[in-house]
């Protein structure tokens, strides 16, 4: 056994709680960012909030109470992104929309709301149901 020197002991500074805040006051953003956990929020979100120090990874602004926060893959899963903390980030909903649009442009992906069928001017309407009296075999 070896007796440690005082200089080998790491110093852990404590951050004073702001004003009259309480873990029960409903401000999950403050407590998730501060502690990295909150009973009403998933562990993934609180861990990312603490890692990002309460800021959006895209616009670098602080998240505020009532804003929609979304978890995003830094590299889209369709391009090989993983589900680990190193590959995830929290974004405002509007920042997530912008990033996804940029990812789609960069990846050459089609918008999921666009039609995948090519328009064809030569198409003609065809009858779906046959009448019982027609024996010509046309569909």
Question: For residue 97, what pLDDT band results from cuts at 50, 70 and 90?
Answer: very high
CB within 8 A of 70, min separation 6: which ones? 90, 91, 92, 93, 96
pTM above 0.75, yes or no: no
Query: What is the pLDDT, as a whole number, of residue 93?
Result: 93
DSSP assignment letter at 68: -
Query: What is the pLDDT, as a whole number, of residue 26?
Result: 67
Tell me if residue 46 falls in helix, strand or coil: helix
CA geometry: angle 126, 130, 131, nearest 5 deg: 130
Query: What is the pLDDT, as a whole number, of residue 116?
Result: 38
Domains (range + CATH), the chain = 24-107 (1.10.30)
């Amino acid at each position: 056994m070896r007796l440690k020197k005082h200089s080998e002991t790491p110093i852990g500074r404590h951050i004073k709680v702001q004003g009259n805040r309480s873990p029960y006051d409903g401000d999950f953003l403050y407590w998730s960012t501060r502690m990295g956990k909150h009973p009403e929020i998933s562990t993934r979100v609180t861990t990312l909030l603490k890692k990002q120090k309460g800021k959006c990874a895209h616009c670098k602004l602080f998240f505020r109470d009532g804003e929609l926060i979304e978890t995003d893959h830094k590299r889209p899963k369709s391009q090989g992104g993983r589900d680990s903390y190193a590959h995830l980030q929290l974004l405002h909903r509007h920042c997530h929309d912008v990033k996804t649009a940029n990812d789609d442009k960069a990846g050459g992906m089609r918008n999921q709301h666009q039609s995948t069928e090519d328009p064809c001017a030569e198409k003609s309407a065809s009858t779906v149901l046959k009448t019982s009296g027609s024996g010509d075999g046309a569909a």
